[in-house]
Amino acid sequence: MKQFSDSGLKEECYNFYKEKFPSLAPMNGRPIADLLAELDMDKEANNPNIEVRHKDDANPGYMYAVYEPQDRELRANRIITVEKQAGDHNGIPASQNQGGQRTVHMGVWVHDRNNPLRSTQYGTDGEPEAMEARAGADKEVPYMTLQPAFLNQEESALTKWYKPVDETFGSFLAQSLMMHAGQIDYSMADLSRSFAPHTIEGRANPKAGTLGLDDEARKKAVDYGKSAFGAAEWARNPANLHRSLREGGSCSTILAKHMQGLQLHMLKTEAERQWEEKGLKPEDAPTFAELVNTLEGLPALNPMNQSPRTLENNLLLSKRNGEFQWVFVGKSSQEHIVNDKEGPPPSRQPDLPDLPVDDPRTQENMDAAKKNKQLPRTEITAQTEADTAAKGK
């Protein structure tokens, strides 16, 4: 898309931040997000453009990008994230991606300081600090879903903060995410697709995608819009559906899905209001499907193809009505904060009933089809090798 090939936009973004933060280092071909990660907060001590120096300075809807500094050894579960983000993935050349290569996780702050903070991660006596999609495979009881969070040294020691220019959008985003806690599974398929290399050995990778919306992405956007403030029905899956087809989200794709669905929901609400003001029936207003074409900025991009680094790139570069939608407002360190607020996870949203045994989308049928499809290729390969060997004699 244009935003990744338009050097003028990247220069505009850099100049935007250089004016806000005079100590920002020169670009010299480096991603803007890395320069922001290295911003000397002491040199910007009295700068009013720094709004977040501690996590409690954040407001609902602020997005945080967790990053690992260059001089720190990566933990095992983050090595692969950094390695995959180093290459060209989903059509974005690594040299043009302005997200931080060592950005390893994304989340959204949801706690309103005027409201009580809950006593445990999964309690109901207040709000959590944040919402994030995390695999949690290292936990005694894995809770692989969109979940409440407390920022701490284990998961989010170092964070960059981005503020939504539209504060109403940010507040609604926080509410939508909290409403869907426990309803959307963490998807390893989403994670893998967001990292899909654009080319493999010089040939186009069919699993990679552009950030534009294809027909499938447009249909899914409608589902996200309809469920922005209701049950996330789009994320309910039949129990025996093949894992590659199960709807869910990774830390970055689930946020992109919510932002897309929320903007579409807001567009629909406004269209119905305008229709009613004209004396027309609200139900005759443009449909969700028609309004997909009016999405702007980050929500106009395909959520499925956004890794943590690419989502941060889009936070930096995406514009709406000629203005950047999200603005970097500071950094915080949680290196000395221990998470002592974990508790038993809430009940999960139930799966849909099993698909019929003859449905080709079941785990068993897709695995069988894959196996059957491979057999002829194996036989052909063996025959080709035999023919080649015979010709060589």
Residue 181 has pLDDT above 60, yes or no: yes
Selection from 170, 130, 125 nearest residue 146 by Cα: 130
Q: Is-contact 63 161, C-beta < 8 A?
A: yes
pLDDT at 380: 40
Percent residues over pLDDT 90 in the chain: 68
Q: Is-contact 316 154, C-beta < 8 A?
A: no
Average pLDDT over residues 173-202: 91
pLDDT band at 343 (very low <50, low <70, confident <90, very high): low
pLDDT at 201: 80
pLDDT band at 135 (very low <50, low <70, confident <90, very high): confident
**Residue at token pair 């702007």:** 296
Average pLDDT over residues 248-256: 96
Residue 241 has pLDDT above 60, yes or no: yes
Q: Is-contact 355 364, C-beta < 8 A?
A: no
CB atoms within 10 A of CB 96: 16
Highest mean pLDDT among 73-82, 170-179, 361-370: 170-179
pLDDT band at 378 (very low <50, low <70, confident <90, very high): very low
Residue 229 has pLDDT above 90, yes or no: yes
pLDDT at 140: 65
Residue 391 has pLDDT above 70, yes or no: no
Comparison of pLDDT for 73 and 307, the residue scoring more: 307
pLDDT band at 207 (very low <50, low <70, confident <90, very high): confident
Comparison of pLDDT for 383 and 43, the residue scoring more: 43
pLDDT at 353: 93
Average pLDDT over residues 373-379: 47
Average pLDDT over residues 240-253: 92
pLDDT at 202: 80
pLDDT at 154: 83
CA distances from 125 to 274, 284, 351 (A): 39, 42, 27
State the average pLDDT for the chain: 89
Q: What is the pLDDT of residues 25-51, one digit of tens each?
A: 999 999 999 999 999 999 999 999 999
pLDDT band at 379 (very low <50, low <70, confident <90, very high): very low
pLDDT band at 168 (very low <50, low <70, confident <90, very high): very high
- Which region among 165-179, 180-194, 270-284, 374-388 has the lowest average model confidence (pLDDT)? 374-388
Q: What is the pLDDT of residues 79-114, one digit of tens each?
A: 989 999 999 998 888 989 999 999 999 999 999 999
pLDDT at 375: 41
Q: Is-contact 106 66, C-beta < 8 A?
A: yes
